[in-house]
Structure 1
Amino acid sequence: MKTNTRCKRTALAVLRTGAVWIGVLGMSSAAHAVDCASLVSVISDSSTMTAADSITPPATIGGVAVTVPFCRVQGTARPTPDSEIKFEVWLPPTLGAWTGRMKVNGTGGYAGATPYARLAQDVGDGFVGAGSNMGHDGGESATWTLGHPEKVKDWGLRAHYYVATAAKTLANAFYGQPVSHSGAELSVAVRRHRRRCAVEFLS
């Protein structure tokens, strides 16, 4: 498999900032459309929700302390048979506690792990926070790419899409509000870099 040295050298520096910012329009003071536990039955593109729980502080998740209440949803996206994009969406507990924004986080470099620290910060700031393992579990090594071209595509192309789609669907169900969003310029650059690296890995 052909790899690109420049991609490997710059991935950690560039991709560590990999976040997608999403703004939400049309806020109101309407009550929840559904409660937190009901979100486990929400259906999203190629994704299954596996758990939905109301979290009350103090609590520790993934080694990270959380200090505000929120609704924690866990799920997995499987756009291909070899895909396993594990994700979490953390939602402020009420519409009034929500700033009307959503942030989708990835991981740095080639690592695969849910970014719990970022999720805790996001939900503490009133965001709907979402993050994933980018389609694989492991550290900074790229050995997971060997023999798994679909996982490379998940990391480089698909993970943010499916996580963002699930997060928007969950927010809409929970708050009873549609989500209108646009990506920030930084996130566009990060996605382009990952897309280029994924293509080069597979070439």
Structure 2
Amino acid sequence: MKRHAALAALACLAVGWLSGIPAFGTGCEELGRLRLKHTTITRAESVTAGAFEPAGGKPIAELPAFCRVVGVIGPSGDSHIEFEVWMPASGW
């Protein structure tokens, strides 16, 4: 349960962090070209509405369209923090 809470907190921080970048308001895929210190975006893709099956998880039905951003943060030499954020398809 603590792990889920930590992941949820990280996701909230990442959404706030990404949504505060004014240069990227035109499309989800553009986030893949975003260059941030100690951060690598490995995937930025638009996902259509409907069912979606996350890696290693159970399928989730009836989702609205969303922007899926996956990456790695390494603020120190010995860290490797993987993240995945799902944002609304528009309005961010």
**TM bucket, shorter chain:** 0.5 to 0.7
Q: Which consecutive aligned stretches of 4+ in structure 1 deviate over 3 angstroms post-superposition?
A: 16-22
Mapped partners of 1:89, 1:42: distance in 2: 15
Task: Check if 1:36 corresponds to 2:28.
Answer: yes
Match for 1:75: what amino acid? G
Name the counterpart of 2:53: 60
Larger CA Rg, structure 1 vs 2: 1
Residues 95-145 of structure 1 show CA distances to partners (whole Å, capped at 9, x for unaligned) of 1xxxxxxxxxxxxxxxxxxxxxxxxxxxxxxxxxxxxxxxxxxxxxxxxxx
Q: TM-score, normalised by structure 2?
A: 0.65
> Any gaps of 5 or more consecutive residues in structure 2?
17-23
Match for 2:51: what amino acid? P
Percent same amino acid at aligned positions?
A: 32
Matches within 5 A, 1:51-200: 51-56=43-48, 57-62=50-55, 63-64=57-58, 65-66=60-61, 67-95=63-91, 175=92
Higher fraction of helix: 1
Mapped partners of 1:88, 1:59: distance in 2: 14
**Structure 1 residue 41 displacement after superposition:** 1.2
**Structure 1 residue 73 displacement after superposition:** 0.5
Name the counterpart of 2:19: none
SS of the residue 1:39 aligns to: helix
Alignment root-mean-square deviation, CA: 2.5
Mapped partners of 2:89, 2:64: distance in 1: 9
Match for 1:58: what amino acid? A
**Structure 1 residue 34 displacement after superposition:** 2.1
Q: TM-score, normalised by structure 1?
A: 0.32
Question: Which is bigger in relative contact order (C-alpha 8 A, separation at least 6)?
Answer: 1
Higher fraction of strand: 2
Match for 1:33: what amino acid? G
**Structure 1 residue 83 displacement after superposition:** 1.4
